């Protein structure tokens, strides 16, 4: 910087004095900054001013409040005046007797100190401006007017503050800065052109960061704090905790299931929440709203008992069942297997939909696992219990065939109750290869109840038990005492099996004839011999001659013999005979 330069310096003792002009040749080795620093050193030897005029913040006491100004005793020759426009929202209720921390920014025509709430001073001259720039210190200033692209700020010299660095969001807020004291940082300075650019946004951001850090350090897990809802997202809401952001996750909004956060909170809501977790590394704060209420699961064990019938609302459906809300925050599960006695439910949506009010029976309660097992079908009553009374053993039923398997067929007895006909109970007197040889799906059959298995919930039916057999026909066509012919089919000791009709076997028992004791032979007279011969002839003629009953050892399978029917038992389908020849 060679040649002659015009140096403008402000008198530090009286900022409003005329500028001092110097014209001097400048060496190429001496910069203007060096001259300013030398001037500042010379001025530093001046006597100190009074306490009220000392740089930096001063503590004062409010002694008066008017519509436009606040009068503060700063222990000087005159009181200080703090414009009400400089008050922050927190100081809206300022009153006489309050203590405030202020900074002197100038003097009025009456000699009163003009005060500011800023904690920094306004440079008195260019050397102060240059020093603040080099040290990156904040300085005080007053916004004087709006210009194209920003505002003018008096910081001991005219400075320009771009709108983008003003900390405002629009032109309206920018206009409201005019006349206000602001704290700024010098971005650039050109002494020769007297061009200064300042930044207020960086100051505001640093102040907010400091305030946020102080506030964060004051928070503790478990604390209950108040916050204002700043924004709502799909996964939760962000709350402003006096400068610190906290996340209220949707899962911590309510004990009952929340569809979307906007159903619970709105922007601007003031909420009392509990701090659940503080992450000192990321400075994240997790909040809980539902934790402000007792956990409903703590009373679930007393409120719901196994066997109890309750009413609830279907909250949500899954592949394996439906969750039913029994009380706020307490859901129970109805498994697929507990939905219907009669229907084969493949998915819950086939039977239920969200919002349905249903009556269910509590099967089990596990508060520790937050699980309650429910049954929808039990609330309707078990139809099998009624079926056991309706379909007792030997009851005859008529029902349609619903399905056919290799081992038998199933028929529909109504109310979701199936009866099973085993292949072995389908036909009499013949072997069948498959149930389809006897019955068809949809065909109505007549069957008899053979057995009821309560544990397996099964009713066994029979077809053949209602069909007449060859034995039935034989019994119906013959009578006791009737003499017929039969074919011996089996000989086992004194027990015989005799086929008395095609496919009809009769039981027969052979008794060995008793041996009579020998009597002494007496000589009979002629008359006695004649009468004995006549008697034997008569007995033979009547079939009562010498004992004709054969011995068991003489009987063989394949022999045909005459028998007499001695018993007919239709209940047990049994025929009994005795040999007569």
Q: Does the pLDDT of residue 551 top 80, yes or no? A: no
Write the CA distances from 129 to 140, 198, 368, integer angstroms: 11, 11, 69
At 160 the pLDDT is: 95
Residues contacting residue 43 through CB under 8 Å, at least 6 positions apart: 12, 127
Using DSSP, state whether 454 is helix, strand or coil: coil
What percent of the chain shows pLDDT beyond 90?
27
Look at 122-131, 318-327, 405-414, 531-540 and tell me which has the smallest mean pLDDT. Answer: 531-540
Mean pLDDT (whole number) for 77-103: 80
Q: In angstroms, what CA-CA distances link 312 with 54, 255, 304, 359, 362?
A: 75, 16, 12, 7, 11
Yes or no: say if 138 and 120 are a contact pair by the CB < 8 Å rule.
Answer: yes
518 CB contacts (<8 Å, ≥6 apart)? Answer: none
- Copy the structure tokens of residue 511: 């008794």
Q: Does 326 have pLDDT greater than 50? A: yes
State how far the Cα of 419 lies from the Cα of 411, in Å rounded to an integer.
5
Taking the model in full, what pTM does it have? 0.46
| CA nearest neighbour of 367 among 338, 337, 326 | 326
- The mean pLDDT of 529-535, rounded to a whole number, is 48
Q: Rg (Cα) of the chain, in Å, rounded?
A: 58
* Cα distances (angstroms) measured from residue 268 to each of 226, 228, 229, 230: 12, 6, 5, 6
Q: Which two tokens stand for residue 544?
A: 């009562």
Return the minimum-mean-pLDDT range out of 73-77, 117-121, 288-292, 313-317: 117-121
* pLDDT surpassing 80 at residue 103: no
- Mean pLDDT (whole number) for 26-32: 44
Residue 242 pLDDT: 85
HSE-CB for 334 with a 13 A CA cutoff: 32
Is the pLDDT reported for residue 415 higher than 80?
A: no
Give the pLDDT score at 513: 61
Lowest mean pLDDT among 164-173, 298-307, 309-318, 526-535: 526-535
CA gap 132, 157 in Å, rounded: 13
327-342: average pLDDT? 85
Average pLDDT, the chain: 80
With cut-offs at 50, 70 and 90, classify the pLDDT of residue 543.
Answer: very low
Q: How many CA atoms lie within 13 Å of 284's alpha carbon, on the beta-carbon side?
A: 9
CB contact at 8 A, 402 and 443: no
What pLDDT does residue 237 have?
93
Residue listed under structure tokens 């005329």: 18
Rounded CA-CA distance 210/467 in Å is 99
* List of residues 6+ apart from 85 with CB closer than 8 A: 68, 179, 180
CB 577 within 8 A of CB 486: yes
User: Stretch 25-49: mean pLDDT, rounded?
Assistant: 46
pLDDT tens digits for 245-254? 999 999 899 8
Q: Is it the case that residue 508 has pLDDT exceeding 90?
A: yes
The 8-class DSSP code of residue 340 comes to -
pLDDT more than 70, % of the chain? 82
Nearest of 203, 171, 211 to residue 187 by alpha carbon = 203
Considering 77-91, 170-184, 544-558, the range whose residues carry the highest mean pLDDT is: 170-184
pLDDT of residue 581: 64
pLDDT bracket for residue 46 (50, 70, 90): very low
**Over residues 303-316, mean pLDDT:** 89
Is 16's pLDDT higher than 60?
no
**SS3 per-residue string spanning 167-211:** CCCCHHHHHCCCCCEEEEEEEEEECCCCEEEEECHHHHHHHHHHH
As a whole number of angstroms, the distance between CA 52 and CA 60 comes to 10
pLDDT for residue 95 is more than 90: no
Task: Return d(Cα 93, Cα 87) in angstroms, integer.
Answer: 10
Q: Which of 311, 377, 305 is nearest to 348 (CA)?
A: 377
DSSP state letters, 75-110: SSSS-EEEEGGG--GGGTT--TT-EEEEEEEEE-TT
| pLDDT tens, residue by residue, 215-230 | 888 899 999 999 999 9
Let me know: does 155 contact 198? Beta carbons within 8 Å.
yes
Domains of the chain: 51-116 (2.40.50.140), 219-292 (2.40.50.140), 305-380 (2.40.50.140), 383-466 (2.40.50.140), 470-514+546-579 (2.40.50.140)
Residue 231: pLDDT over 90: yes
Give SS3 for 390: helix
Q: Find all residues with CB under 8 Å of 48, minimum gap 6, and list them.
A: 54
Highest mean pLDDT pick, 5-14, 272-281, 451-460 = 272-281
- pLDDT score for 164: 93
Length of the chain (residues)? 581
Is the pLDDT at 274 greater than 90? The verdict is yes
Residue 69's pLDDT is: 87
Residue with more model confidence, 139 or 533? 139
Task: For the beta carbon of residue 398, count every other beta carbon within 10 angstroms.
Answer: 10
Which helix or strand (DSSP H or E) is residue 152 part of?
strand 150-154
Whether the pLDDT of residue 382 is over 80: the answer is: no
pLDDT tens by residue, 455-488:
777 889 988 888 888 888 899 999 999 999 999 9
Task: State the Cα–Cα distance between residues 265 and 474, nearest whole angstrom.
Answer: 89
Longest dimension (CA), the chain: 202
Number of other residues whose CB lies within 10 A of the CB of residue 352: 19
In this prediction, residue 4 has a pLDDT band, given cuts at 50, 70 and 90, of: very low
In whole angstroms, what is the distance from residue 52 CA to residue 104 CA? 8
- Token pair recorded at residue 121: 């001073």
């Amino acid at each position: 910087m060679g040649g002659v330069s015009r140096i403008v310096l402000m008198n530090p003792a009286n900022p409003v004095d005329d500028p001092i002009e110097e014209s001097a040749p400048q060496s190429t080795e001496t910069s203007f900054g060096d001259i300013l620093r030398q001037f500042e050193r010379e001025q530093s030897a001046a006597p100190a001013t009074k306490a009220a005029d000392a740089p930096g913040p001063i503590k004062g006491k409010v002694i008066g409040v008017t519509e436009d100004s606040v009068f503060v005793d700063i222990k000087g020759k005159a009181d200080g005046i703090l414009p009400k426009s400089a008050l922050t929202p927190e100081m809206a209720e300022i009153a006489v007797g309050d203590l405030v921390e202020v900074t002197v920014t100038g003097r009025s025509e009456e000699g009163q100190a003009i005060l500011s709430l800023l904690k920094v001073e306004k440079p008195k001259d260019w050397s102060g401006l240059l020093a603040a720039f080099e040290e990156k210190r904040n300085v005080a200033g007053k916004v004087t007017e709006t210009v194209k692209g920003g505002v003018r700020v008096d910081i001991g010299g005219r400075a320009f503050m771009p709108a983008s660095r003003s900390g405002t969001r629009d032109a309206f807020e920018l206009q409201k800065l005019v006349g206000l004291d602001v704290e700024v940082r010098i971005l650039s300075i050109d002494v020769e052109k007297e061009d200064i650019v300042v930044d207020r946004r960086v100051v505001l951001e640093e102040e907010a960061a400091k305030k946020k850090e102080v506030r964060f350090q004051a928070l503790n897990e478990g604390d209950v704090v108040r916050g204002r809802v700043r924004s709502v997202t799909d996964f939760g809401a962000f709350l402003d905790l006096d400068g610190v952001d906290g996340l209220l996750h949707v899962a911590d909004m309510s004990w009952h299931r929340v569809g979307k956060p906007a159903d619970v909170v709105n922007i601007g809501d003031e909420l009392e929440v509990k701090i659940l977790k503080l992450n000192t590394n990321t400075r994240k704060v997790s909040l809980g709203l539902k934790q402000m209420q007792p956990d409903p699961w703590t009373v679930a064990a007393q409120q719901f008992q196994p066997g109890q019938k309750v009413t609830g609302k279907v909250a949500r459906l899954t592949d394996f069942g439906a969750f039913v809300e029994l009380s706020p925050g307490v859901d129970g599960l109805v498994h697929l297997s507990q939905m219907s006695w009669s229907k084969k439910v493949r998915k819950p949506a086939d039977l239920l939909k969200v919002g349905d009010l249903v009556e269910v029976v509590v099967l089990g309660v596990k508060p520790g696992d937050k699980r309650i097992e429910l049954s929808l079908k039990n609330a309707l009553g078990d139809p099998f219990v009624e079926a056991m009374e309706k379909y007792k053993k030997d009851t005859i039923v008529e029902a349609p065939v619903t399905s056919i398997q290799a081992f038998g067929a199933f028929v529909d007895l109504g109310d979701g109750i199936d009866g099973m006909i085993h292949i072995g109970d389908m036909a009499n007197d013949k072997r069948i290869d498959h149930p389809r040889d006897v019955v068809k799906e949809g065909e109505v059959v007549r069957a008899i109840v053979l057995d009821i298995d309560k544990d397996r919930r099964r009713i066994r039916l029979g077809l053949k038990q209602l069909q007449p057999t060859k034995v039935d026909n034989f019994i119906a066509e013959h009578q006791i005492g009737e003499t017929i012919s039969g074919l011996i089919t089996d000989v086992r000791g004194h027990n015989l099996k005799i086929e008395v009709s095609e496919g009809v076997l009769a039981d027969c028992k052979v008794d060995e004839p008793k041996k009579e004791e020998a009597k002494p032979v007496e000589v009979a007279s002629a008359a006695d011999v004649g009468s004995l011969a006549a008697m034997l002839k008569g007995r033979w003629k009547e079939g009562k001659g010498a004992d004709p009953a054969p011995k068991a050892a003489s009987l063989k399978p394949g022999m045909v013999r005459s028998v007499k029917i001695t018993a007919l038992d239709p209940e047990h389908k049994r025929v009994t005979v005795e040999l007569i020849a």
